[in-house]
Structures are given as structure tokens and as C-alpha cells.
Amino acid sequence: MLLQPIIDLAEICHKHGVEKAVLSPGSRVAPLTLAFTRHPKINCQTLSDERSAAFVGMGMALNDDKPVVLACTSGSAAYNYAPAVSEAFYQQIPLIILTADRPSEWLDQMDGQTIKQKDIYGKHVKNSYELPIDYDNENTQWHINRIMNEAILEAQRFPKGPVHINIPLREPFYPEENETFQPSENIRIIKELEGSRLLSDEEIEELAKKIRSKKTIIIAGQRKKDIEFSNVINRFIETHNIPVFGDILSNIHDSEEVIKLQDSFLLNDKIRNEESLKPELIITFGKSVISKQLKLYLRSVKNLKHWHIQTDGYCPDTFQCLTKIIRTDAFTFFNQMLQISDNLGNEELQNNWKSIDLQCKMTQNEFFASQKNANEWGEFSSLQSIIQSLPDTALLHLSNSMSIRYANYIGLEPDAPELFCNRGTSGIDGSNSTAVGISLATPERMNIIITGDMAFFYDRNAFWHNYSMANLRVIVMNNHAGGIFRLIKGPSQQEELEEYFETRQNLNAQNTAMDFSMDYSYAYDENSLNKALIDFFKPSENCKLLEVNSDSSINAKIFDLFKGCIKNSDFKLTSEKK
């Protein structure tokens, strides 16, 4: 068959462990569509909106930690992948992006669906490739095989990420009647063996000596939940008495010993200015940290040293004091540090930070109780109620921008679900679709997304497909505006706030629920929310959508009260309590 090398792409993917492909309809992409849909070992799904399709595929790859194939037709379809491609690049999620293209001789000749697709994603992919267009000699077939092998390996090499393969195709590209798609025999597969780097005994001793000599804290960034890793962190804290700050994105909230409320208590001037609390060394691992208060605090600490643990690749200088990159993975590092039997930390520092975290939690609980007593209704307190009611067996998705920020102030309890959020580029454009992708990849698990109205309505096409979403629960915090701009000092003081920053809208989610056959419920105060939550997490044949209505100006007032409560709290150090 003339298109045999294209048919073989699906088999190469399969032999590299690729199990899923998300396809979007089109004619030029037909050979790829048929190659993957007719492959018996690759699960294919189709979504018409390429922007949503790319985020759905990214969600699947994020959950499985395996590459997922995206394939689309030529022209602007490929550009619609771009938001998810950039998010996957910064979240280090492996994607194999296949874009069908017109032959290069038709570029800029006013031929339909023909744009400059080569290197279309620029520096937001790990590498970009283009297949040769003529397949009639052995060297070309070898070249195509080599490119596909290289691309899949590159997607999975640390740091993982998206790769792009542009595929020019000539007509005809539909098979003749009764013609079958079969992969070639003895397809060549290139494998790569990779091992984690163990630090030498001398390196461990030297690092331990420096840690012991300084007031040290550890900061965990964004990462997937890993129970085995959490156990190692718990043992490390118990053994060495070093404070570990777990950003909500770090998914180590299952540890009682991890400090979680730094975004809240660092609002307090006393805590921020207390010299005895200021670290001399920070050790970080994982990806991005959402806590703005923590980043501002650490950037202000004088003479601070920063070590980051990362096996390979570019290392960001987030806190403006990076001095050492430790080339291993976090699990190996902390496991090896457990070989050091004597205490590495400062027990007083650990006790002080832990005490502040506990005091902050008590202050928060008192604040939310006072709001309920005063019948103050807003999205912040309603989110706290929702978080407390989450099933611990579920998977939780939070959208940008206020959903994740509110939750980071509130914190998650040890039995809370694993958390996902698109904090690679921190856009609102694919929150629904990413949650849908993970829910399709985990049909046995309930998936819950808590999203703001702007993010929800922006990404409604996430639900525009023919696959069951019975395990998905959608909570829309609808304040009819981009509420974050009322909480930021700059835009909140401008007379153009409502029209040009908040972009107020009068939509409600009920019509969307009807369009996509979702079970719909509505909450407008504490009682209606509590009533709605009774049935919301119960099994259903349909996706369920709960809309929580609030007023943007009241939300801003309540959040200001919360921050004032934390700022004015008299947090005590352990030495002051004696």
C-alpha cells in the first residue's frame, strides 16, 4: 500500500506502550485516523473541537503518565492545539502531536487549509519533526521509522513533554474498497533504558553536613500523588525534624506533619518579619508552586541559599537564590537522606512552623464559623463547605484562577482526594477538558471539577462528544464575572472594572447542562448548598452539574475580611507559649 509507512506509525506507537489517541475529524488526516482507529490495541476517541481535544488528551496523559497521541487535519486545526501544547510543555506531560499537512508545493498558493505548519508550536514542544512526503524507497521508510521512534523517546525523556510531527500527505489517502490496514512485519523499535542516579555516600555526607549547619526548610511543588513517596517524606520529617511546606499542588496533604497553610499565615506581618523563623537554606522539588505569599516571602529573605532536586534539564531560579542543582529524583534523595541517623534539622524551627500552621487552621475554622453565624454567603465559604464534603476516593480538579487560589488558602485535609490543576501556563482555557480527559481515563473513579464561571463557559466544548461522563461531577462557582479582578488592588480601583476587567456576564449553567444531558442543581445560600450536596456525589447514569451562585462584590468583601482576620491574629511561637 502507498501509505504503508503512515499505517505503521500506529504500530510503532503501540510497541512503545502508547494506548490512547484523541482524534479530530478531517479529510487530510484520514490516513492517520484509519491507522489508529483500526489498530486493535489503541483506544481512540474523537472530539470535534481541536482545542478541547488537545486538553482531553493531555488529561489522559497526565493521569496515565504515558504519551497520548493527538491527530488533526491541516490548517488552523493545528493552531487550536497550541494552548494545550504549551500547558503540557510546562507541566511536563508527554504528548505525540500528529498534524496532517498539504504538500509543501501548495504553501502560499491560496489552496484551502494550507498554512505554515512546520515548527508551528515553536519552543513549546521538546522537538519538532517533519516526515518526508514520498514513501517509494527504503531510505524514506527507514527515515520515517527513525523519526517516529526518536519522537516517542523524546516525549518520555526527562523532563517529559510534547513533541510535534508534521505529516504532509498527497492524495489519494483513502483506501480502496475492501483494502485492509495492516502494519508491516518486523517493525523496528528503538528502546532506551534509563535509571535513577544514586548519590554517592560522600555526596550524601557532604549535603547532610551543610543541611545540619543551617536553618533548613523543604518546599514541595506540583506533582502527582504518590503514597510511597508520602511515606518517605513522613519518615524524613520524623527522623530529621525539618519543616516541609506542601503547596496544595504537591499532593502530599496526606501527611499530618506537612505544613499546608503558608499562603494564609504569611499574610501576617509578625510571622513574615520574625527573624527566628527565617530559613538559611531551602530545598525544593517538583514543579510550580502556587503560593504567591511563600514566593514573595522567600525572595525577601537575605543571604538565602536554594537547592533544587531534579534529575535533568533546565532548572528555574524561582526564589532568586539558586545555588545548587542536585541531579537525582526526590524519592531517591529523601530515601538516601534517611541513611543519616542523627538529626539534620532544627527542632525549634520545625515546632514553630508546625504550631503556626495549626494556629492558622484554628483561626480559619473560627472565621468560617462566624460567617455561617452571620449568614454571610459567598463563594469562599461555600468552597470550604464543598471541600469538607468531598469523597476521599475521588479525583479533584480545580480550575484557574480563583478556585485553586481559594483552595490553597483553605488547604486540604489528609484524607482529601488527589488534586489536579493546569498550573503549567495557568490559563482558564482547558480546565473542563483536562478534567474530562482524566475522567475518561479513569471510569472507575469519580472526578470532581470545581471551576469558576469564566473558565467553565470558556471551555464548554469539553462536553461536546459522545462518551459517557457518568463519573464526572462539575461544580460551577458562578459570580457572573472574572471575580479575581475585584480582588487585585490595581483593577479593583479602576472605573472600567466591571466592563473591561471583570467582563460581567449573565449566563447560567442550566442551559449547558440541558445541552449535554447533565443532571442539574442550583445553590444560592448555605442551606440550598448543603441540600444539593446530599445527592450530588451519589452514583448516576449522567454527569452532574451543581451551579453555586454568588455576588462578586460580596465575595471580595468576605475575602478581605478573611485576610484581615489572618493579618490581625496574634500567632504565638512555641517559646512564647511557655
211 and 129 within one domain: no
Same domain as 349, residue 478: no
Distance separating alpha carbons of residues 173 and 161, to the nearest angstrom: 30
Which of 159, 45, 191 shows the shortest CA–CA distance to 92? 159
Do 396 and 452 lie in one domain? The reply is yes
User: 419 φ, ψ to 5°?
Assistant: -115, 140
Domain final residue, candidates 151, 168, 185: 168
In a domain, 194, yes or no: no
CATH number at residue 219: 3.40.50.1220
Q: Which of 437, 484, 482 is nearest to 456 (CA)?
A: 482
Cell numbers that stand for 248 in this block: 496544595
Do 463 and 542 sit in the same domain of this protein? yes
For residue 157, give the amino acid letter: R
Assess if residue 422 is contained within a domain: yes
Cell numbers of 302, please? 537575605
- For residues 95 and 61, membership in a common domain is answered with yes
Q: What is the reported pLDDT for 274?
A: 96
Same domain, 66 and 131: yes
We report the CATH number of the domain holding residue 46 as: 3.40.50.970
Cell digits of residue 319: 526564589
Residue 561 counted as domain residue:
no
pLDDT tens string for the chain (578 positions)?
578 899 999 999 999 999 999 999 999 999 999 999 999 999 999 999 999 999 999 999 999 999 999 999 999 999 999 999 999 999 999 999 999 999 888 888 888 888 889 999 999 999 999 999 888 888 999 999 999 999 999 999 999 999 999 999 988 888 877 777 788 888 999 999 877 789 999 999 999 999 999 999 999 999 999 999 999 999 999 999 999 999 999 999 998 899 999 999 999 999 999 999 999 999 999 999 999 999 999 999 999 999 999 999 999 999 999 999 999 999 999 999 999 988 999 999 999 999 999 999 999 999 999 988 778 889 999 999 999 999 999 999 999 888 999 999 999 999 999 999 999 999 989 999 999 999 999 999 999 999 999 999 999 999 999 999 999 999 999 988 766 666 666 666 676 766 656 677 788 999 999 999 999 999 999 999 999 999 999 999 999 999 999 998 899 899 999 999 999 999 999 877 65
Give the Cα separation of 387 and 61 in Å (integer). 26
Domain identity same for 144 and 253: no
308 is in which domain, residue-wise?
201-358
Copy the grid coordinates of residue 424.
Answer: 503549567
Q: Which long-range contacts (CB under 8 A, 24 or more apart) does 363-367 make?
A: 363/565, 363/566, 363/569, 364/261, 364/264, 364/410, 364/562, 364/566, 367/561, 367/562, 367/565
Residues 145 and 8 in one domain: yes
| pLDDT value for 168 | 95
Q: Regarding beta strands 472-478 and 244-246, do their DSSP bridges make them parallel or antiparallel, or are they unpaired?
A: unpaired
CA distance 333 to 322: 18
Does residue 372 belong to any structural domain of this protein? Answer: no
Domain end position, chosen among 309, 329, 358? 358
What pLDDT is attached to residue 499?
64
For residue 537, give the nearest of 474, 489, 459 by alpha carbon. 474
Distance CA 431, CA 440 (A): 14
Give the pLDDT score at 483. 60
234 occurs within a structural domain:
yes
Q: Provide the pairing of β-strand 305-309 with 281-285.
A: parallel
Residues 156 and 80 in one domain: yes
End-to-end Cα spacing for the chain:
83
Q: Say what the pLDDT of residue 174 is.
A: 81
Q: Which of 148, 168, 188 is the last residue of a domain?
A: 168
* 350 domain residue, yes or no: yes
Q: How far apart are CA 428 and CA 457, in angstroms?
A: 10
Same structural domain for residues 383 and 445? yes
- Whether the upstream peptide bond of residue 401 has omega within 30° of 0, thus cis, is yes
Residue 557 is assigned to a structural domain of this protein: no
Do 94 and 67 meet the contact criterion of CB atoms below 8 Å apart?
Answer: yes
Please, which residues have CB within 8 angstroms of residue 258's CB and are 6 or more apart in sequence? 220, 233, 237, 244, 245, 246, 252
- What per-residue confidence (pLDDT) applies to 1? 57
Residue 333, classed as helix, strand or coil, is helix
Instruction: Indicate whether 572 belongs to any domain.
Output: no
Quickly tell me which residue has 469519580 as its cell: 446
The pLDDT of residue 107 is 81
Is residue 520 domain-shared with residue 402, that is, in the same domain?
A: yes
Q: What is the pLDDT of residue 482?
A: 62
Provide the b/e sequence for 329-360 (b: ≥16 CB within 10 Å): bbbbbbbbbeebeeebbbeebbebbbbbbebb
285 and 333 both lie in a single domain: yes
Closest of 93, 79, 70 to residue 22, by C-alpha: 70
Count of domains observed in the chain: 3
486 with 502: CB under 8 angstroms?
Answer: yes
Q: How far apart are CA 250 and CA 262, in angstroms?
A: 13
Q: In whole angstroms, what is the distance from residue 391 CA to residue 395 CA?
A: 9
- Residue 549's CB is within 10 A of a number of other CB atoms, namely 21
Q: Tally Cβ neighbours within 10 Å of residue 181.
A: 19
Q: What's the confidence (pLDDT) of residue 384?
A: 95
SS3 419: strand
Give CA separation, 203 vs 16, 310, 514, in Å: 35, 15, 61
Residues 6+ apart with CB under 8 A from 569: 268, 359, 360, 363
The CA-atom distances, in angstroms, between 268 and each of 75, 245, 259, 483, 488 are 53, 17, 16, 24, 18
